[in-house]
Amino acid sequence: MNKKIVNIAILDDEQTFGWRFKLILSRVGVVTQNFQHFLSTEIFIEDFIKMKESGMPYDIIFLDINLRVDDKDGFEILKLLREKLNGHPIIAIISSSDDENDIKLAKQYGANCYIIKSGDLYEFSARMRDFKEMFINNRVQEFILFND
């Protein structure tokens, strides 16, 4: 079976989350050609443009809505990305918040899905396995909440 190879960017202000997240993706069978963890919106946008111009744009952006970088929160960044990107790439919110208002705003601003971070590695891995099936393997179109 051929595995789809994807380019992934993650914008999360937690320093160690990027390498843990990459490990989880690898364990659930996500194959990445390029995986970048950004702590700064400005650097992310520069790299995003460079990747797009090189013909290898990011397929998926994981965005933490609780981040506070460069005087913007995750919702502002989500809204900006959707205004500029016309539906591509997939934008997946990753957040420890299960607040209904956060989930509604993420959907309203154009996120493809909302993944609630879990302290339990197995639970979070299961969510990421479901994400892979829905968005990488099958390219689902509707908004999905990944929770318990």
- pTM for this model (two decimals): 0.89
Q: How many CA atoms lie within 13 A of 126 on its CB side?
A: 8
- DSSP state, 132? I
Between 32 and 88, the higher pLDDT residue = 32
Q: Looking at the predicted structure, is the pLDDT value of residue 133 above 90?
A: no
pLDDT of residue 119: 79
Distances 131 to 44, 67, 94, 121 between C-alpha atoms, Å: 23, 21, 11, 15
Q: Confidence class of residue 94 from pLDDT cuts 50, 70 and 90?
A: very high
Place of tokens 């990107």: 85
pLDDT at residue 50, as a whole number: 87
The candidate with the shortest Cα–Cα distance to 76, out of 39, 114, 110, is 110
In the chain, the N- to C-terminal Cα span, in Å, equals: 29
Query: What is the distance between the alpha carbons of residues 47 and 142, in angstroms, rounded to a whole number?
Result: 28
DSSP code string of 11-51:
E-S-TTHHHHHHHHHHHTT-EEEEEEEES-HHHHHHHHHHH
Mean pLDDT of the region 18-41: 91
Average pLDDT over residues 110-119: 88
Mean pLDDT of the chain, nearest integer: 85
Q: Coil, strand or helix: which one is 4?
A: coil
- Tell me the pLDDT band of 141, cut-offs 50, 70 and 90: low
List CB contacts of 25: < 8 A, sequence separation 6 or more.
Answer: 8, 32, 35, 128, 132
Angstrom distance (rounded) from CA 116 to CA 111: 13
Single-letter amino acid code for the residue at 41: T
